[in-house]
Structure 1
Amino acid sequence: MNPNSEPVEVPAAEPAPLLTPVPDTSPAPDIAPNRGAAADGGVSDTQLHSLLPDWSVGQWIGYTSMILVAILLTVIAVTTLWWMLHAWRSRDSLQRTGFSRTPRPAAESFTLLVPGRHEEEVMGQTLDKLAEQDHPDFEIIVIVGHDDPGTEAVVRAAAARHPHLIKVVVDSSVPKNKPKALNLALKSARGSVIGVFDAEDDVHPRLLSLVDSRFTETGADVVQGGVQLMNFDTTWWSLRNVLEYYFWFRSRLHFHANAKFIPLGGNTVFIRRTWLEWSDGWDAECLAEDCEVGVRLSSQGATVAVAYSPEVVTREETPGTLTSLFKQRTRWNQGFLQVLGKGEWRKLPTKRQRLFARYILAMPFLQAATGLLIPVSIALVIFAKVPVVVALITFLPLAPTIVTLAAEAAGLSEFGRLYGKKVRLRDYVRLVLGTFPYQVFLAAAAVRAVYRQLKGENSWEKTEHSGAHRTTFDTPEPQQEFAGVATSTSAAQLSTSGASS
């Protein structure tokens, strides 16, 4: 360094940052859009897989079945109880479900059709009761088989007692069934309105006058009257069968009529003859001819009025044995499947009506599916370690079931009050304890109906009658809203099958 040279100023260095970022020299991932880790923070396949339970294939199948059964039962329960309690929305709505207390003057003529096969024990009394109608213009046509001398003898004797009212028609068709008998009698009917009754029915003497008035008041094409099973205390399942009819005719059919899609009941139904002639009567190949004609008339815009007044309902009995009830329920379910396959419901004008019709008519399929999956679910609950989430979901149907039991208990109490029947504590116990067995029973009948339908087996399985419901007509109390249900109940009934004949 030269000592004579001037010192050189060195510029001060700029302060370095406390943390110097290290550049990322790793190659950028090759990520295609919508695949793998997304730039916007999406979830990768690996991350998604880590969120799913680590179940085996068998566990996935079993647990999924349990969840589906629980959800399906819950949906069926909630919707069904909503319909079941339709009439009890308010006191006014309940009062509107009944016949007028002051009927209008007669305006129609009636032909009452009564088919019977091997019904000699009950047919005579039924015809005598029908002959007591106070309407000024009606006739009774009884249809018996050519191979049923016992019933024919009883019918001929009744015709001799009421020669100006009762006419006998002999059905020679083979094989025989109810719609064939009805179609045969329709050819000789003269009334403007055709009514249908069963061989064991107890009919109130004022019924035709009230039905006639209902036609005039509403301008309806069809009037569906009330039908009520009476012998609730015979067996544990007869109690539940009686309550099915009570809620079906007292409430649910009114909901169907408002929705303009109604599977009609098998008796105490009155149809203008012009509509029956247009539809060529009843479908002779259908096991639920009442449901079928109701669907067909609904699809063509026929107006249906429903009326249930406890004092004038048609009284019937439950099937005499559990086997008989099983066959009866199988026939109804299979008939619904036939109507679903026939497709007349597709002619309903709105999408909402068509969806509603599909749901109602497909109910046997739903019951059959849940009936098959219920044992699987029970086995998994007993023998497998079920995850907490799955176990909680399986309890979903319990909530509407409890509410349903409360509604049924209230309905049983009202039934006893209206019809002068003494309801005991043991009846309420049977109601509760019979809930699950009856649902399994209904599911089994639905499975059998599907099996018969797939096999193409359409034979008619007749329900036997013994007259267990025969009593004198007591005057029930005026219609009342049963306590607590109209204002506090809003869930569903697991029993889904319609009551028809």
Structure 2
Amino acid sequence: MARSRTCAPDSAARVGATPAQGLVVLVLLAGLALAFSRWPAAAARVGILSVALGFLACGVWRVLLVLCSGHRPPSPPRPRRWPRYTILAALHDEVAVVPQLVARLAAIDYPRDRLEGWLVLEADDLPTIQAVRDSRLPPWLGLILVPPGRPRTKPRAFNHALARVTGELLTVYDAEDAPDPAQLREAAARFAADGRGRLACLQAPLRIRSRGDRPGFLERQFAAEYAALFEVVLPALTRLGLPFPLGGTSNHFRTDVLRAVGGWDAWNVTEDADLGFRLWRRGWRLGVLSRPTWETPPATLE
């Protein structure tokens, strides 16, 4: 079966090294082998010094990110017109979370006549399809069935749904997400305030919602990692004008730009990170939001 990849092959993720990269690696390995065979003591000193300088550079970079993350742009003004907004949420074998997801999406604070939403399911996921049909969906929220095909991935499902999207702006959520009800309004305002018209995507911060008063070890680790990435690293990279890997959820796009770059790479297991760099490679900017999406981490290793 031929791969029905939407994004252009020259911009999709590559597997393996190019011949030039392989040659560089071979030359470096040969040089190291020669140095350690001819001048072992000097080579060892240079190696230790290089590792120390590498750790120092990493430390300086982290300090720079912390300093840059302290500056946050002011809240944008309300746009003159609320653009049409599309929400996509892909589910697979997730019957139990359907009522929760529908309730959280229904709580989103955005003009209902400017809102469109789709729950995207595989056509053979009959239990989840039935659970969605048994739910009381808001009028703006519908169901899209993805026909059989390969690969069976979330980006392929989103690409299938992208053909039916009518919103000027688009965001994606996971089944377990609890987005801040005002997140769409903030994103729409930030896109409208982009005077240069080069802002293509906004990443909302992901935050951990504890299961109880005394979070466990895994919950604390997830919370620390998410805080470091979404509250420090990504805002700093935004201020520096650098690309960053998007999270797997709560990405807000200009739909026309998303289509122009070919959507998601259905054959990429980190399609979100790949898309962030492909947008930047095409000359688009990435940004961050302040309104979070809450997630519940696993409580155990099982």
TM-score tier after normalising by the smaller chain length: 0.7 to 0.9
- Pairwise mapping of residues 55-134 of structure 1 onto structure 2 (< 5 A)? 68-88=50-70, 93-94=71-72, 96=73, 99-100=75-76, 103-134=78-109
Shift of 1:64: 6.8
Larger radius of gyration: 1
Instruction: Provide the identity percentage.
Output: 25
- After TM superposition, the structure 1 stretch with the greater mean CA deviation from structure 2, 60-69 or 312-321, is 60-69
Query: Counterparts in 2 of 1:202-213, with a 5 A limit?
Result: 202-213=178-189
Equivalent residue, structure 2, for 1:224? 203
CA RMSD of aligned residues (A): 2.7
TM-aligned CA distance change 1:76 to 1:184, over 3 Å: same
Determine the C-alpha separation between the residues in 1 that align with 2:216 and 2:45. 36
Q: Please, which of 243, 266, 276 is the counterpart of residue 258 of structure 2?
A: 276
Q: Please say if residues 151 and 266 of structure 2, whose CA atoms lie closer than 8 Å, have aligned partners that are also in contact.
A: no
Q: Hey, what's the Cα distance between the residues in 2 that align with 1:177 and 1:231?
A: 29
Contact 1:84 1:247 in 2 (8 A): no
Partner of 2:130: 153
Q: Which residue of 1 aligns with 2:226?
A: 245
What's the TM-score, normalizing by structure 2?
A: 0.74
Q: Is the 2:118–2:142 contact (alpha carbons within 8 Å) kept by the matching residues of 1?
A: yes
Please report how far the alpha carbon of residue 287 of structure 1 lies from its aligned counterpart in structure 2 after TM superposition: 1.4
Check if 1:140 corresponds to 2:123. Answer: no
Q: How far apart, CA to CA, are the structure 1 residues paired with 2:163 and 2:62?
A: 39
Counterpart code for 2:260: W
| TM-score, with structure 1 as normaliser | 0.47
Cα shift at 1:116: 1.4
Of the three residues 144, 156, 160, the one matched with 1:169 is 144
Q: Which runs of 5+ in 2 are unaligned?
A: 1-38
2:245 counterpart SS class:
coil
Paired residues of 1:85 and 1:252 also in contact (CA < 8 A): no
Give yes or no for the alignment of 1:178 onto 2:159.
no
1:279: Cα distance to partner? 1.3
Contact 2:186 2:289 in 1 (8 A): no
Cα distance, 1:321 vs structure 2: 4.1
Distance 1:174 1:217, change over 3 A: same
| Structure-1 separation of matches of 2:282 and 2:251 | 18
SS in 2 for 1:214: helix
- Could you say what secondary structure the match of 1:318 adopts? coil
Q: 1:126 corresponds to which letter in structure 2?
A: L
Q: Contact between 2:108 and 2:180, CA under 8 Å: does it hold in 1?
A: yes
Q: 1:256 aligns with which of 227, 237, 243?
A: 237
1:442-475, Cα deviation, whole Å (9 max, x unpaired): xxxxxxxxxxxxxxxxxxxxxxxxxxxxxxxxxx
Q: Choose between structure 1 and 2: higher helix proportion.
A: 1
Matches of 1:241 and 1:179 in 2, distance apart?
24
SS in structure 2 at match of 1:205: coil
Please point out which of 187, 190, 197 is paired with 1:214.
Answer: 190
Distance verdict in 2 for CA 1:290–1:99, change over 3 Å? farther
**Aligned position for 2:216:** 235
Amino acid at match of 1:139: E
Q: Which structure shows the higher strand fraction?
A: 2
Paired residue secondary structure (1:118):
coil
Aligned length: 255
Kept after mapping to 2: 8 A contact 1:106/1:213 = no
Letter in 1 for 2:284: A
